[in-house]
Chain A
C-alpha cells in the first residue's frame, strides 16, 4: 500500500485550472523531488498535500486516511522560513513542540528543542532572534522546527531557492544526512535539476499550466551517499541531467508566443553623445539594410 496517494486531484482558482488530474504515489521512506517552472502550481500542490487548501475533485490519502486539513503528521518547510520575528530560535521551535506534544514537561520540551537545534548545527545561536540570523540559518531553524514535531512526511517547498549557491550546497548535505538518519518520507519541490538529482530517489517533472500535471516519474538510480564531485563522473548522472533538463526546457518552449510579425531594424548607428548635438540625418552604416521576419 502506498504511503501517500493522490488520485485525480484537480484544483482551480477563480475558474482557471491550476492543477489537473494529478496522480502521485509514494512509498514510505522515499525521497521524491518535483521539478518545474515558477508559477505552475508546485506550491499549490504542496498546500493540497499539507491540507492548507482543499482539492476541487480527487482524493489525497496519507497512510490510508483522507487528508482534510493541516496536521502535525505532515511537516511543511516554506521558502520564506516563516519564523516569528519576536521569538528566539529556541522559542520558535518550542512553540511548535508545545502545540504538538502537550504532555511534555518544560524540561522535556527544552531538551527536545535543544536536540533538534543541535541537529541543524545551530546550538550556538539558539538565543538569537531571526533578524540576527543569515538566510541559511533561518532556513535551518525552519527545518529544525519541522523535524521537531516528528512528522510522518516532510514537505519541502523550495526550501533552498532563496539561498546562495554555497549555503545551498551545505543545506542540501544537511537535508541528505537528516533524511538518511531519520528515513522520513520526503517530497521536495525545486526548480534545480542538480538539487533533485543529488537528493531524490525519484524525480517527477511538473508540466506547464494552465492545468499542470505530473509527468512520468524518473527513477534516480545513483548510489548513496552521493558525492557532488564523484557524481560528475557518473555516466548515469550526466544522462539524467541532460534528459530532465531537455524535458523541462521542452515544456518552456511550448509556451513561447506563436505570433509572427514583421519587424524592421533600421540601419542607423548610435550617435556619440559626448560630441555636441547636431541636426542632421542619422548616421547609417555602409552595409545593406537588415530586415527580417521573426516567428517566435
Chain B
C-alpha cells in the first residue's frame, strides 16, 4: 500500500439558483506516506473545497477520498486541520485549547500524560512561555502557532493546512514555515497544504499540485521539487534552479491555469505521481496522458 491518501475522480457540485455548479471536476491525486504536497491555484479555484472534502467538512458529490485504506466520511481526529484563521476558543488559554482535543483523543491516558502531550507540542511551536495566555493576549502569529500545536498534538494520520499563513506578514510567515517543517520532519507526517504563495510552496513541498481555474477545476500540472531536506532557505534563494521552478509556477498561474488540460467529456488520467519519474520536473499534461487511454 504505497498510496496513503487517494483522492480519486473527485467531483463537487453546489446547487445555485441557476442550476448546479460544478466547482471541482475529476480531481485525482495520490499522496505517499510522509509526503508534503502543496496545492496552488488562484483564489476561488476550488483548492480549499478539495481540502475541505479531505477533512470531511464538505460532502463529496462524486468520487472518493481514501485515507490509509479507509474511506473518509465526515470529520475526525485522524486528520488534523489548520485553518487560515486560528479558530481558537477565546475563553480558553492556548493550553486549554490544545487540551480540548487531547482529552478526547487520548481519553484512556492519564491526566499527566495528556498534559505532557499538550506541553510538548506547545513548547515545540515556541509557546513555552505563553501557553497559559488567552488568544486575545497573543499576536496573530502566536495564535497560528497554537493552531499548529493543536493539530499535531492529536497525532493525526494526515495534516490538512488551508492557507495557514495567509493572514501573517511575510517575515512571521517564514518563521512559522520553519516551525511547521521542523514538526513535520520530527513526526514524519503526511501533509496537504493549500496556498497561493509560490515561494511557500517551493520551500515546504515535495510536490506542488497546480490547479486550473474554477469552475470545473482540476489538476493542471504537478511539479516535483528536487531540493534536498533539510532545506536551507538562504541557499535555496540563491539557487538558479529555484528561480527556474518559481517562474514555471508563476507562468502556470498567469497563463496556463485558465485552460483545462483536457476536453471535459474525456476525463484526464490520474497524474503520473503514482509512478514517480527520476526527472526533477515531470509534467502530467492530460492531453499526453489521455492519449494512453
Q: Top 4 closest A-B pairs, CB basis?
A: A242-B237, A266-B113, A191-B169, A282-B109
Q: Nearest chain B CB to A255's CB is how many angstroms away? A: 10
Q: In chain A, what residue has the closest Cβ to B175? A: A252
In the docked arrangement, what's the CA distance between A269 and B109, Å?
9
Interface residues of B in 113-157 (CB under 8 A from A): 113, 116-117, 119-120, 123-124, 126, 128-129, 139, 141, 154-156
Q: Return chain A residues, CB-CB under 8 Å to B154.
A: 270
Indicate if the CB atoms of A277 and B107 lie closer than 8 Å: yes
| Cα distance, A269 to B105, chains bound together (Å) | 9
Is B2's CB within 8 Å of the partner chain A? no
A271 touches B238 (CB 8 A): no
CB-nearest residue of chain A relative to B239? A238
Size range of the interface on A? 35 or more
For A248, list chain B residues within 8 Å (CB): 171
| In the assembled complex, A288 has its CB within 8 A of some CB on chain B | no
| 26 residue pairs A–B, Cβ–Cβ below 8 Å | A36-B171, A37-B169, A165-B197, A232-B246, A238-B240, A242-B235, A246-B237, A248-B171, A249-B233, A252-B175, A259-B128, A263-B116, A263-B119, A263-B120, A263-B124, A266-B109, A266-B113, A266-B117, A268-B113, A270-B77, A270-B78, A270-B106, A274-B76, A277-B107, A282-B106, A294-B124
Q: Is the interface of A mostly helix, strand, loop or mixed?
A: loop
| Neighbouring A residues of B113 by C-beta, 8 Å | 266, 268, 282
Interface residues of B (CB under 8 A from A): 42-43, 76-78, 104-110, 113, 116-117, 119-120, 123-124, 126, 128-129, 139, 141, 154-156, 169-172, 174-175, 196-197, 233-235, 237-238, 240, 243, 246-247, 250
Contact A264-B237, Cβ < 8 Å, known A191-B170, A229-B247, A271-B107: no
A161 vs B173: C-alpha distance in the bound complex, in angstroms? 13
B233 partner residues in chain A, CB cutoff 8 A = 245-246, 249
0/1 per residue, A273-285, Cβ < 8 Å to B? 1100111111100
Q: Which residue of B lies closest to A279 (CB)?
A: B108
B113's nearest neighbour on chain A, judged by CB, is A266
**Does the CB pair A268–B120 fall under 8 Å?**
no
A164 to B43, Cβ gap below 8 A? yes
Q: How far is the CA of A125 from the CA of B237 in the complex (A)?
A: 41
Q: List the A side residues contacting B123 at CB < 8 Å.
A: 261, 263, 294, 296
- Asked if A257 contacts B237 (CB within 8 A), the reply is no
B104, B116, B170 — most chain A CB neighbours (10 Å): B170
Could you tell me the distance between the alpha carbons of A270 and B106 in the complex, rounded to whole angstroms?
5
Does A273 lie within 8 Å of B129, measured CB to CB? Answer: no
Q: Does A126 contact B (CB under 8 A)?
A: no
A229 to B113, CA, bound (A): 52
- In this assembly, does A181 line the interface, its C-beta being within 8 Å of a C-beta of chain B? no
The 8 Å CB contact of B170, one of A192, A232, A233, A273, is A192
CB distance from A251 to the nearest CB of B (A): 9
Whose C-beta in chain A lies nearest to the C-beta of B234? A246
- The answer to whether A257 touches B129, judged by C-beta atoms less than 8 angstroms apart, is yes
Cα of A248 to Cα of B169 in the assembled complex, Å: 13
A5 to B231, CA, bound (A): 41
- Assembly CA distance A271 to B107 (angstroms): 7
Q: How far is the CB of B24 from chain A (nearest CB, A)?
A: 21
* Cross-chain contact of A268 among B106, B126, B128, B246 (Cβ < 8 A): B106
A24 to B30, CA, bound (A): 54
Query: Which residue of chain A is the closest to B236 with respect to CB atoms?
Result: A242
